[in-house]
Structures are given as structure tokens and as C-alpha cells.
């Protein structure tokens, strides 16, 4: 259906140039809306870990025409090996798109994916870096925004979309609530950073468990570097307090001390952490907002419904959520209330499904004792044998087993047809 009636004055401010923001800007701009994308950082952020693109999101990147650009910068990761302190392989899961491996064909460093979406959307939106929203005031015809920059510039928009991440300041401002109000912590923290590949590194990712709920995951990035994740479960609140200080040096030293004596290649990895200029600390948590909109402000991606990295669906949710929101805005452009209600009604059941994580996670993946690590390695050994033997493929097609364990068991979302974004000639 063609949008010959698109209101030329439809003005949308998107806050956050990560994954969801640029995807939203692309589709709204394609339909002819006037889009401004605001990013607090003074540049496009290249920090972050390796992410993947699943299910409906793959269809959307094809519609955007960026699938080939994404494939060019994927990590080409062959799979994941689970190793012990002597680098003995206990289990290995080769790349798969069937849900039997942590690695898919669309593994990509988050910053590289953000850049692909930026390149696709930069001519469809006005990008403003190094600024943020200071205040929001709704009027009868729109919403007035005062920017945080020294000029304190004021602009008026029809809608504001917040795509900032889990701990969004703008969400707290717009909803008049505490920054952590919708955040459900899982008490796990991940320090992400990169360093140059060494002799022991290849195209396989390697995961190592150490006692006291510590873990190290190192992955190739496709550009001669290793993307490392140092993981730790902290139920004491210590890391939460240190993270609040935003002192990078203090955070680095905390992790270096935390992993002291952990064995394996820890010393080499901690040396990489010490020298890293792309160190990034992420809290593993979920966002569960009671509603995704208030007035003319709407949330998308991690800001609204972060499923956590444990789900493997955070990037997919951001892409899919942004596409669905854009479609509803364009379809109901003269009635923002109907548009935002339709967005949430369409997406929430799917989001609630992907937010379900394995019982006992993340503690089950980062055991406290050596005995617990031994049980985990044995389980993974058996699981990898089942996957390699093909038994999993057979069982995944049988009734309840398939619904519970195969990738096809996840709820499917019917995406709006991309023709909604076509402009009349």
C-alpha cells in the first residue's frame, strides 16, 4: 500500500545511534519523514562485543539491502570450544543457524554492525553527535525538546523515540522514574575489550570457566584481533557500586585482581585488558517496562525490552522492534496514540517470548566450584556429541521436544509488509 498521504511535516527525534536508532531512521526516512538522530557520544561507538542476527531480523536486513555489507564484516567465527586450564577441548559447537551453536553465520562486532546501519541511514536522517536531550515538554501539537549542548537549542517534534540502551537517562526523564526502575538484574557483569591475536588464537572462539563464578570468552573479530569477554557473577553489589563511578582505570584493576590466578591464558588476556582503549563494562540484565510509551515519547530496543545477552536476541529485538515501530508510525501517522498502541500490541507477545532464559541462568553457566565446572563440562560434552551425531536434528522434529529446544519453537512474528514505506511518485 502506498503512502501518498504522508504528512510532509512528520518530525521524529531518535535518541541513540546504536543498532535500533539507525534502523528506525532508515525506514522512517524511506517513507519521507523528517528524522533527526541524536547521539550522546561525539562519534559512532565502536565498542562492544560480538553479536548476531537471527530470525525475522535477517529478513529486515535483506529488505534494507545491507545483507552483503554485513557479510563482508562478519567475524567468520567457526564455532565455540569449551576448554580447561590445559586448553583441552571438552566440547565444540560448530557454526550453525539451527540453534545448536552459540555461533551463527551472522556473527559481527557490534560496532561494525552499527556502522553498516549508519551508512544505510545517514542520507535519510540528520545525525547530531555529542549532544543529548535535557528536557521534554509536550504541547497540544507536538513535543518541545531542549538539547543539552551549550546553545540549549530548542526544537519541536511530533514524536521522540528513545533507543539508548538498558540504563537510559532519557527514559528516566520522560517517564519520571528512577534510572533502574525497569531493570531486572541477573547479577552478571561482562567486561568487553580487544587485543591482537596470538599464536593460540584461530577462527574458533574459546570459553574457559574458573572457580568462584568466573569465565573468559575470546572470539575472533575478522580483523586480526580478539574480542574478549571477562564474565563474573556478583551478588554483593560491589561491581554495581564501582560501575557507578565510571572510573575506567578502577574498573580495569578490579577485573585484573578478580581474575588473578584463574589459570589458562588469563595473564595474557588481562594484559590485553590493561592496555585496551575499547574497554566496556556491561551489566547483564533485562528491561521490563510496564508500558513502552508515554504521550509522544516511545521506547525501542534495549531501552524498552532488553532481553539480555543470555538470550542471544538483543540485536535481533532492536532491529525487529525498530522496523515494527516505524511501520506503525507511518501507517497511523495522523494519530500517534494509535500508532504506539499498535506497536506495543504487535510486538509485546514476541518480546515476552524471547525474554525467557534457561532456568538457572546465568549461574548454571558460571559454577562456583571445580566440582560444578566438572558437571558443566560433562553436560556440554554429551550435548556436543548429540549435536554432532545428528540425534538433535531428529528429535527437534518430534512434537514437544522440537517446540522446546529447536529454533523453530520460538514464536514467529508476522512483519508488516515493506510496501507501507513506499512513497507515491
Backbone angles phi, psi at 249, to 5 degrees: -65, -40
User: Edge-to-edge strand order for the sheet containing 79-83?
Assistant: 89-94, 79-83, 204-210, 214-220, 225-233, 183-196, 280-287
Q: What are φ and ψ of residue 211, in 5° steps?
A: -60, 165
- What single-letter DSSP state applies at residue 52? -
Q: Say if residues 422 and 2 touch (Cβ distance below 8 Å).
A: yes
How much is the pLDDT for 358?
A: 86
Q: Would you state the cell numbers that stand for residue 237, as one nine-digit string?
A: 553489589
The predicted structure's pLDDT at residue 406: 44
Pairing of the two strands 225-233 and 183-196: antiparallel
Q: Mean pLDDT across the stretch 75-101?
A: 91
CATH of the domain at 307: 3.50.50.60
pLDDT at position 299: 98
44 assigned to some structural domain:
yes
**Within a domain: 198:** no
Q: How far is CA 301 from the centre of its chain?
A: 8
Q: What is the pLDDT of residues 273-292, one digit of tens each?
A: 999 999 999 999 999 999 99
* Residue 381 resides in a domain: no
Whether residue 262 is contained in a domain is answered as: no
Query: What average pLDDT does the structure give for the chain?
Result: 90
Residue 244 resides in a domain: no
| Residue 126, domain member (yes or no) | yes
Closest CA to 103 of 79, 127, 133: 79
Judge whether 236 lies within some domain: no
In a domain, 294, yes or no: yes
Residue 149 confidence class, pLDDT cut points 50, 70, 90: confident
Which pLDDT tens digit goes with each residue over 395-411?
444 444 344 344 445 67
Number of domains the chain contains: 1
Length of the chain equals: 425
Print the domain residue range for 51.
11-75+106-182+287-358
Indicate yes or no: pTM above 0.85.
yes
Amino acid at each position: 500500500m502506498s503512502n501518498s498521504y504522508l504528512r510532509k511535516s512528520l518530525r521524529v527525534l531518535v535518541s541513540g545511534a546504536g543498532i535500533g536508532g539507525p534502523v528506525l531512521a532508515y525506514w522512517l526516512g524511506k517513507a519521507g519523514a523528517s528524522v533527526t538522530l541524536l547521539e550522546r557520544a561525539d562519534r559512532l561507538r565502536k565498542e562492544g562485543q560480538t553479536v548476531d542476527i537471527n530470525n525475522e531480523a535477517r529478513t529486515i536486513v535483506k529488505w534494507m539491502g545491507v545483507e552483503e555489507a554485513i557479510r563482508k564484516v562478519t567475524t567468520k567465527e567457526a564455532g565455540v570450544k569449551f576448554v580447561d586450564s590445559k586448553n583441552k577441548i571438552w566440547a565444540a559447537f560448530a557454526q550453525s543457524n539451527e540453534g545448536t551453536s552459540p555461533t551463527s553465520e551472522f556473527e559481527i562486532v557490534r560496532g561494525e554492525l552499527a556502522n553498516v546501519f549508519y551508512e544505510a541511514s545517514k542520507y535519510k536522517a540528520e545525525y547530531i553527535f555529542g549532544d543529548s536531550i535535557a528536557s521534554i515538554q509536550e504541547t497540544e501539537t507536538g513535543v518541545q525538546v531542549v538539547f543539552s549542548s551549550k546553545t540549549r537549542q530548542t526544537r519541536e517534534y511530533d514524536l521522540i523515540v528513545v533507543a539508548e540502551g538498558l540504563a537510559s537517562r532519557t527514559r528516566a526523564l520522560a517517564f519520571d522514574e528512577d534510572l533502574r526502575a525497569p531493570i531486572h538484574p541477573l547479577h552478571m557483569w561482562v567486561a568487553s575489550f580487544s587485543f591482537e591475536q596470538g599464536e593460540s588464537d584461530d577462527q574458533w572462539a574459546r570459553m574457559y570457566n574458573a572457580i568462584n563464578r568466573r569465565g573468559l570468552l575470546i572470539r575472533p573479530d575478522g580483523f586480526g584481533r580478539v574480542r574478549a569477554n571477562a564474565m563474573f557473577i556478583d551478588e554483593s553489589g560491589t561491581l554495581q557500586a564501582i560501575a557507578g563511578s565510571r572510573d575506567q582505570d578502577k574498573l580495569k584493576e578490579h577485573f585484573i585482581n578478580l581474575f588473578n590466578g584463574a589459570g589458562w591464558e588469563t595473564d595474557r588476556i588481562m594484559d590485553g585488558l590493561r592496555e585496551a582503549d575499547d574497554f566496556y563494562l556491561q551489566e547483564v540484565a533485562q528491561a521490563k517496562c510496564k508500558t513502552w510509551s508515554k504521550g509522544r515519547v516511545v521506547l525501542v530496543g534495549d531501552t524498552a525490552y532488553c532481553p539480555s545477552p543470555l538470550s542471544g536476541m538483543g540485536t535481533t529485538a532492536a532491529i525487529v522492534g525498530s522496523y515494527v515501530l516505524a511501520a506503525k508510525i507511518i501507517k497511523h501517522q495522523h494519530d500517534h496514540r494509535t500508532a504506539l498502541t499498535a506497536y506495543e500490541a504487535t510486538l509485546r507477545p514476541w518480546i515476552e517470548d524471547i525474554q525467557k532464559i534457561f532456568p538457572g541462568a546465568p549461574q548454571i553457566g558460571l559454577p562456583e566450584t571445580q566440582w560444578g565446572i566438572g558437571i558443566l563440562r560433562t553436560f556440554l560434552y554429551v550435548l556436543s556429541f548429540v549435536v554432532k551425531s545428528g540425534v538433535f536434528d531428529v528429535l527437534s522434529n518430534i512434537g514437544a521436544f522440537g517446540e522446546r529446544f529447536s529454533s523453530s519453537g520460538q514464536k514467529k512474528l508476522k512483519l508488516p509488509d515493506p510496501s507501507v514505506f513506499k512513497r507515491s511518485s
